[in-house]
């Protein structure tokens, strides 16, 4: 009868070593070990979470003052101004506007700027009357007298270009000049605005004609 000597065989040592290795591996990886020594996946360990990419909201950095404290940004609203308030605007336009504000049906046929530049002498057709007005540079309007000049009444009815439009056409591209006088007149059957300009220094400026039908500007009267 063969007796066991109690000396472990190579086979037994291999099993023991293999079991210990499996147990250590399981402890290191967090896996559980089955009864037969086979590692099992740990149900409490989850795969790397998938995250949906998010778009970072960006904002423009706010301005900072000298102390480094952010200050609220300010924006200047776009504003528009009428022609009468434009820097460098010829005062004739304010005078024309002042008269038309009081007599909206008036057709201005003549403009004369007084030498002291404090007011304008304007003639306007209102109905069948030709009325003379003094309009000061501050916008006050004073009616002087009137007559029944039939020629002025007819010319006012034929003109398609107003005094304001004629003045703007005459001044276009002529910096440093201003309206001295304007008169609606007919020359060789053509109705025109005869316009005289003054230079800023007081000297006589250009003499122009503005077609009262088309607005075309030509040199001379």
Q: pLDDT tens for residues 176-219?
A: 999 999 999 998 899 999 999 999 888 899 999 999 999 999 99
Query: What is the chain's mean pLDDT, rounded?
Result: 73
Based on its alpha-carbon atoms, the radius of gyration of the chain, rounded to whole angstroms, reads: 49
Residues 193, 209: contact at Cβ < 8 Å? Answer: yes
* Angle between the N-to-C axes of helices 92-102 and 163-171, in degrees from 0 to 180, rounded to the nearest 10: 170
Long-range pairs, 118-125, Cβ under 8 A, ≥24: 119/95, 120/91, 120/92, 120/95, 122/95, 122/96, 123/152, 124/99, 125/152, 125/153, 125/156
| pLDDT tens column, 35-46 | 554 445 444 444
* Chain CA centroid to CA 58, Å: 26
More confident residue, 81 or 161: 161
pLDDT band at 88 (very low <50, low <70, confident <90, very high): low
The H-or-E segment that residue 144 falls in is strand 141-147
**Token pair 């270009």: residue:** 161
Which alpha helices (DSSP H) does the chain contain, by range?
Answer: 10-29, 92-102, 150-158, 163-171
Residue among 200, 116, 215 at smallest CA distance from 163: 215
| pLDDT tens column, 144-185 | 988 777 899 999 999 999 999 999 999 999 999 999 999 999
First to last CA, the chain: 151
Tokens of 201: 């220094």
């Amino acid at each position: 009868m063969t007796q066991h000597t109690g000396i472990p065989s190579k086979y037994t040592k291999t099993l023991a070593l293999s079991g210990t290795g499996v147990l250590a591996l399981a402890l290191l990886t967090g896996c559980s070990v089955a009864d037969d020594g086979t590692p099992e996946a740990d149900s409490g360990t989850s795969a790397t979470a998938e995250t949906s990419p998010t778009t970072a909201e960006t904002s423009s950095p706010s301005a900072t003052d000298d102390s480094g404290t952010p200050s609220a940004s300010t924006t200047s609203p776009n504003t528009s101004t009428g022609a009468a308030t434009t820097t460098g605007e010829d005062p004739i336009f304010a005078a024309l506007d002042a008269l038309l504000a009081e007599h909206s049906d008036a057709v201005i046929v003549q403009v004369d700027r007084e030498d002291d530049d404090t007011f304008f002498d304007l003639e306007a057709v209102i109905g069948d009357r030709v009325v003379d007005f003094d309009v000061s540079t501050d916008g006050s309007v004073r009616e002087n007298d009137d007559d029944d000049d039939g020629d002025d009444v007819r010319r006012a009815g034929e003109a398609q270009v107003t005094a304001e439009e004629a003045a703007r056409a005459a001044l276009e591209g002529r910096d440093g000049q201003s309206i001295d006088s304007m008169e609606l007149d007919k020359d060789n059957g053509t109705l025109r605005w005869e316009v005289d300009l003054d230079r800023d220094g007081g000297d006589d400026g250009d003499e122009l004609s503005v077609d009262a039908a088309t607005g075309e500007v030509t040199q001379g009267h």
